[in-house]
Structure 1
Amino acid sequence: MSETAELLELSKEAQDLLFRDARTVGAFTDEPVTEEQVRAIHDLVKYGPTSLNTQPLRVTLVRSAESRERLVQHMAEPNQEKTRTAPLVAILAYDTAFHERGEEVFPGRGEMIKGMFADEAARDTNGRLNATLQIAYVLLGIRAAGLAAGPMTGFDAAGVDREFFADGSRKSLVVVNIGTPAEGQPPFPRLPRFEYDEVVTEV
């Protein structure tokens, strides 16, 4: 165990599960991902912070073969087959009208939130940034459930939005494949990570 690992409250095993041993996966076994597992993931990651507690992330689970093919046609070619065959696929998007629920997420400040994000550009920026933050929580939640995730941005987002969110209610950000890793996954060594001194400065 490294000295830095010993300084953390989380157990070494949990640290490894969430970060050191976790990898992006492109192929999975046929073991299903249940609704109960997805609910458990949500019940954990819903506590992650967002600006003014806006919680703009929305998740669309793509299970049926018909819906899967509708999604696959908008995926980049290298992502098509793994999206077609993953046990579960989720479209992670942001709610374009998240500000309308301000009173639900921040009682007493609903009108303030609506006013702050009345401008479409401000709303789009907040929705994208905070939903992206929530996507990171979701990926960690998937790992906490003992599953693996294959997040992808290689797809036609406008096409996915027309296909699944034609009313403009959501804007897709990431498509993620979810399941139990197949044998031999991931198929390549871990890529390098920047060290502390390459990332952190102090002023």
Structure 2
Amino acid sequence: MRPPLDDTALDIAFREARTHYGFRNEPIDEALLRRLYDLLKWGPTSMNCQPSRYVFVTSVEAKSRLLPALSEANRDKAYQAATTVIVAIDTCFHEHLPTLFPSSPNARDRFAANPETSSETAWRNGTLQGGYLIIAARMLGLDVGPMSGFDNAMVDAEFFPDGRYKSNFLVNLGIGDPESLRPRGPRLAFDEVAYVV
């Protein structure tokens, strides 16, 4: 077993990490967004399927396309954030399996023939990848505000009109405004949620 990360790293990723509701007016360089992806892509997915797709909404024009789909409570958050990431899934992710999972030459055809399994696999693993994005962003010094509270159909029509990608959730990224933080919510104890058999 390798040694655990030190407490500073664990605090950044989990213990002191907070959901941010407001952000300072500081842009994120595209190089950092690329670095973020280059880190999160290493998180495991079943059969290395990697179904997530990401739209980094940064420009005023792109935000004007996104904001109408958000609940009123979420519009200011997304407007202030340097970037709002649309975390989506590729409904045809299996087309990449010959490259991503060559040890199973029939994987693409098996998913193509079973839409229900394909959809379940895409949503489960795409959500995992969204979680990796949140942790990777924190590890790279960014503050994070994941969000639901939007009209998926509106987002999909605006950003994915061909219907292949489907939005899952949104993640605001930037330099958080500490004044926007709310009191931290409690967490359930181990014995309330888990048992060892």
Q: Residue 91 of structure 2 is aligned with which of 93, 96, 103? A: 96
Structure 1 partner of 2:192: 198
Q: Residue 13 of structure 1 is aligned with which of 8, 24, 32? A: 8
C-alpha distance in structure 2 between counterparts of 1:190 and 1:180, whole Å: 18
Matches within 5 A, 1:26-45: 26-45=21-40
Q: Residue 182 of structure 1 is aligned with which of 165, 177, 183? A: 177
C-alpha distance in structure 2 between counterparts of 1:183 and 1:129, whole Å: 32
> Which ranges in structure 2 are unaligned for 5 or more consecutive residues?
none
Is structure 2 residue 160 aligned with structure 1 residue 127?
no
**Aligned residue pairs, count:** 196
Asked whether the 8 Å contact 2:94–2:107 carries over to 1, the reply is no
Matches within 5 A, 1:53-202: 53-186=48-181, 188-202=182-196
- Helix, strand or coil: the match of 1:113? helix
Asked whether the 8 Å contact 1:74–1:160 carries over to 2, the reply is yes
- Once superposed, which parts of structure 1, at least 4 consecutive aligned residues long, lie more than 3 Å away? none
C-alpha distance in structure 1 between counterparts of 2:165 and 2:111, whole Å: 19
C-alpha distance in structure 2 between counterparts of 1:51 and 1:132, whole Å: 12
> Which ranges in structure 1 are unaligned for 5 or more consecutive residues?
1-7
Asked whether the 8 Å contact 1:104–1:110 carries over to 2, the reply is no
Task: Give 1:111 deviation, angstroms.
Answer: 2.5
Task: Give 1:30 deviation, angstroms.
Answer: 1.1
